[in-house]
Amino acid sequence: MRILVVDDDQKLCDVIQRGLEEEAYAVDCVYDGKDGQYYAENTPYDLIILDYMMPHKDGIEVCRNLRAGKINTPILMLTAKDEIEDRVKGLDSGADDYVVKPFAFSELLARVRAILRREGESRTSKLKVGDLVLDPSTREVWWKKKNLDLTTKEYSILEFLMRNPNAVVTRKMIEEHAWNYDFDSISNLVDVYIRRIRQKIDPELGKSIISTIRGAGYRIKAI
């Protein structure tokens, strides 16, 4: 999953980014409301973490503009304002939840998980493609009842494929889901990770559940 963090406190952004990346999220950070709105309007994020008070555009204005533009990405607002009317203003502008600064990262992470759970039961239900099973709630993966040991990036890519079974998923789609804007799209990292995932699913390299669609991308399909 990919998250956008918008906050003019760059040190706080760095802390949030490192913490979320340790939990296997891809994270982009921007430092003012104008850039935050641009990124949110032009990139498919699973969640936006948005500061209330920022230069150029504050979080309230950004949130309202995104909702007016029919962008329904969940928004978690960060605010140093803890008055009831400020919280109400943030929620009324279209935010889904808020966290008051200063906060413990564990609380922020719990609220991130809660918002993503509310996006639909499918996020926490087990995914199954043939003999391959993935449990998003525990991040465990089984192939023919054998537990697979995946890195966070391998897990992120495989989960994305399994949420789109039988469909052709392009390399660009995988890049946008699993990496941030610093990713070098010229590299062959996607192919490298797909090969590693295949080897873990089927060490004997028989017929793979993940097939390469020449000139297009990849498809996961029961075999």
Residue 122 has pLDDT above 50, yes or no: no
Domain definitions of the chain by residue range: 2-119, 123-220
Look at 34 and 121; give whichever has higher pLDDT: 34
Per-residue pLDDT tens over the stretch 168-188: 998 888 887 777 666 655 568
Look at 176 and 75; give whichever has higher pLDDT: 75
Look at 84 and 73; give whichever has higher pLDDT: 73
pLDDT for residue 177: 76
Residue 162 has pLDDT above 60, yes or no: yes
Upstream peptide bond of 102 is cis (omega within 30 degrees of 0): yes
pTM, entire model:
0.63
Q: Which of 32-41, 80-89, 150-159, 207-216 has the highest mean pLDDT?
A: 32-41
Residue 115 has pLDDT above 80, yes or no: yes
Least confident of 25-34, 42-51, 107-116, 201-210: 201-210
Average confidence (pLDDT) over 160-168: 90
Give the C-alpha separation, 53 to 49, whole Å.
13
- Separation of CA 219 from chain center: 20
Q: Within a 10 A sphere around the Cβ of 62, how many other Cβ atoms?
A: 30
Residue 123 has pLDDT above 60, yes or no: no
Candidates 19, 93, 21, 83; CA nearest to 50 is 93
State percent of the chain over pLDDT 90.
Answer: 46
Return the bridge partners of 78, or none: 51, 99
Residue 139 has pLDDT above 70, yes or no: yes
Give the C-alpha separation, 98 to 83, whole Å.
12
Q: Which top CATH class is 123-220?
A: mainly alpha
Q: Are 63 and 78 in contact (CB under 8 A)?
A: no
Residue 86 has pLDDT above 80, yes or no: no
The pLDDT-based confidence of 124 (bands split at 50, 70, 90) is low
Look at 29 and 84; give whichever has higher pLDDT: 29
Strands (E), 61-216: 75-79, 97-100, 127-129, 132-135, 140-143, 146-148, 169-170, 210-213
Spell 144-177 as b/e; 16+ CB within 10 A means b. Answer: eeeebebeebbbbbbbbbbbebeeebebebbbbb
Q: Are 194 and 217 in contact (CB under 8 A)?
A: no
Candidates 155, 177, 143, 142; CA nearest to 26 is 177
Give the C-alpha separation, 221 to 148, whole Å.
18
CA distances from 1 to 83, 108, 219 (A): 32, 16, 19
- Assign domain 2-119 one CATH number from 3.40.50.300, 3.40.50.2300, 3.30.2010.10, 3.90.1300.10: 3.40.50.2300
Average pLDDT, the chain: 86
Q: Which residues contact 72 (CB under 8 A, 6 or more apart)?
A: none
Upstream peptide bond of 136 is cis (omega within 30 degrees of 0): no
